[in-house]
Amino acid sequence: MQGRHPSAQLVAAESAGYLIDCGEGTQYVLRDLKLGISKIRAICISHLHGDHYYGLFGLLDTMALTGRKAPLYLIAPENLRGILLEIGRSTQTPPSFPVHFIGTSLADTGLNVYTDELISIETFPLDHGVHCTGFLFRAHRPARSMRKEKLFAGFPYAAIRMLKEGKDVYDDGGRLLYRVSEYTIEPAPARTYAYCSDTVYSPSLTGYLKGVNLLYHEATFGSELEAKAHARGHSTAAQAALTAAEAKAERLLIGHFSSRYSDISPLLEEARQVFPETYYAEEGVTFQV
């Protein structure tokens, strides 16, 4: 869209950040929005078109110049590994911190590529004419909480730990002491966020996105340019909404609008005709998952 920066999103979980795509100028926007670059644990690159990764090199350099020591996980098409190695050789400035490169796959099943104590990241294939993947972020399900009315002075700590892990507690003789269903409260389901970068509409995405809490899907063109969208490996706003409806997503974000649209309200309305819970990915705006 006119006046907007190239693709980049920051997923925040507690004190950690996970960057998705890194178009030109990403580090400056992160700085202006006061989103800590040092908190980024992983960077996910969907594909190697410039508007999705040309900002990566400057961001990595800034991380090094500011004294980063923590490891960084880089999840991207395998060809990016060679590009980074060549830049390091040519400039004689390889990263001063560990970079763990994880090459993405176009396998037809969801692939878990990263896990820490907060989230896991899965990839799934997109159809854009080049090696391109989407990303599914899944927050770990919180532990069960104890029913306070069931607790008493001296309640065994070991039993509390086991109950929170979903395990019934027995004594040494095999007699049931505390049942999970009686002493704990079922935790809320794990929250999920999916990112569908550049792609044509494909019903096959439904299997990866089923029931997702928040879905981002590109909507480069309106339906009047559906043929052009398909030819260029993109989707229309209506097709993005159809994907959300088929996946039974809770909410949809659309973005990656063609620069021909100075006003994106027709695209938003087009999507809402199919999937009412549609919003557009606006710079600097935070969406809760």
| Domain assignment present for 192 | no
Residues 2 and 136 in one domain: yes
Burial of 2 from C-beta contacts in 10 A (0-12 / 13-18 / 19+): exposed
pLDDT at residue 222 in the model: 97
| Domain assignment present for 120 | yes
Q: Which residue range(s) make up the domain with 204?
A: 199-289
Residues 107 and 60 in one domain: yes
| Domain assignment present for 246 | yes
Residues 155 and 217 in one domain: no
pLDDT at residue 1 in the model: 41
Residues 287 and 225 in one domain: yes
| Domain assignment present for 191 | no
Kindly report the CATH number assigned to the domain that includes residue 117.
3.60.15.10
Of 131, 158, 185, the position where a domain reaches its end is: 185
Query: Residue 15 in contact with residue 39, Cβ under 8 Å?
Result: yes
Residues 238 and 173 in one domain: no
Residues 90 and 57 in one domain: yes
| Domain assignment present for 231 | yes
Q: Count up the domains in the chain and report the number.
A: 3
| Domain assignment present for 28 | yes
| Domain assignment present for 225 | yes
What is the gyration radius of the CA atoms in the chain, in angstroms? Answer: 22
Q: What is the C-alpha to C-alpha distance for residues 61 and 268, in angstroms, rounded to an integer?
A: 37
Residues 54 and 121 in one domain: yes
Residues 10 and 129 in one domain: yes
| Domain assignment present for 194 | no
pTM of the predicted model as reported, rounded to 2 decimal places: 0.87
Nearest to 247 by CA among 201, 199, 200, 189: 201
Residues 8 and 44 in one domain: yes
Residues 93 and 156 in one domain: no
196: number of Cβ within 10 Å: 28
Residues 43 and 133 in one domain: yes
Q: What is the mean pLDDT of each run of 10 residues along the chain (289 residues)?
A: 78 95 95 93 98 96 94 97 91 88 85 94 96 96 87 92 92 92 87 97 94 97 97 97 98 96 95 98 90
Residues 178 and 221 in one domain: no
Amino acid code (one letter) for 101: F
Known catalytic residues are 51
